[in-house]
Amino acid sequence: KAGVTQTPRYLIKTRGQQVTLSCSPISGHRSVSWYQQTPGQGLQFLFEYFSETQRNKGNFPGRFSGRQFSNSRSEMNVSTLELGDSALYLCACNPGQNTGELFFGEGSRLTVL
Amino acid sequence: DAKTTQPNSMESNEEEPVHLPCNHSTISGTDYIHWYRQLPSQGPEYVIHGLTSNVNNRMASLAIAEDRKSSTLILHRATLRDAAVYYCILRDVDSSNTGKLIFGQGTTLQVKP
């Protein structure tokens, strides 16, 4: 069974640029969530998409956005990058039913210079 | 969301049992107790969850206090591969099918050979 695939795994950007990260969930999993992990703040919830609609949103500025496609693949975008956006961005999926379990990818490591 | 309190770090010897505590004194009657762990350089992975009764699976056991204000994750025989950060998370039953998790700082478990 294929797991959660995140691309790219590593990337380096400079301040002011924008970045797009991609997440392909497990087949049949309709919910995709995004998390930011930093040494200082730990794991923080960004947003969740279910059936192409944002269902939940964390406390992040509008520079962070996302979308979900009809095949459940999701992208997140960060515009006008700041040094503090350097982090591991994790994607998680679940079937959308009451199973309680999320499946995480290995993340995309973003470094902003 | 109700908060959880965990020790910052714990140590264990290989092949010995490990008891990871979690306090959640403000837990509500509809909160499930979930445990995830994050191995180095990987995304979090689901370990176990429960509501009131003790739970067992192939990875671990979850012991829940009678008043539900605390719980303990039990690894019966720690291996070097169990070295990870362990997160205790409360999830309301109404959100248990969503992708939103509120992570605390977790417990870093070190396993000595």
pLDDT tens digits along B27-86: 999 999 999 999 998 999 999 999 999 999 999 999 999 999 999 999 999 999 999 999
Tokens of A94: 């679940």
Q: Is B102's Cβ below 8 Å from some Cβ in A? A: yes
Task: Identify the band that residue A24 occupies on the pLDDT scale cut at 50, 70 and 90.
Answer: very high
DSSP state of A25: P
Q: Is B30's Cβ below 8 Å from some Cβ in A? A: no
CA of A105: which chain B residue's CA is closest? Answer: B43
CB contact under 8 Å between B43 and A92, yes or no, is yes
Q: What is the pLDDT of residues B2-29, one digit of tens each?
A: 689 999 999 999 999 999 999 999 999 9
Task: Choose the closest CB to B99 out of A33, A42, A107.
Answer: A33
CA of B34: which chain A residue's CA is closest? Answer: A100
Backbone angles phi, psi at B49, to 5 degrees: -150, 160
Q: What is the pLDDT of residues A25-78, one digit of tens each?
A: 999 999 999 999 999 999 999 999 999 999 999 999 999 999 999 999 999 999
Q: Look up tokens 């379990």; give the residue.
A: A101
Neighbour-count burial of B22, counting CB atoms closer than 10 A to its CB (0-12 exposed, 13-18 middle, 19+ buried): buried
Task: Inform me whether the pLDDT recorded for B98 exceeds 70.
Answer: yes
CA geometry: angle B38, A87, B59, nearest 5 deg: 5
Backbone angles phi, psi at A78, to 5 degrees: -120, 120
First to last CA, chain B: 38
- Beta-carbon contacts of residue B74 (< 8 Å; ≥ 6 apart): B17, B18, B19, B20, B60, B61, B62, B63
Chain A residues within 8 angstroms (CB to CB) of chain B = 4, 31-33, 35, 42-45, 48, 50, 55-56, 58, 90, 92-94, 96-107
Task: Inform me whether the pLDDT recorded for A1 exceeds 60.
Answer: no
Distance separating alpha carbons of residues A24 and A105, to the nearest angstrom: 9
Tell me the average pLDDT of chain A: 94
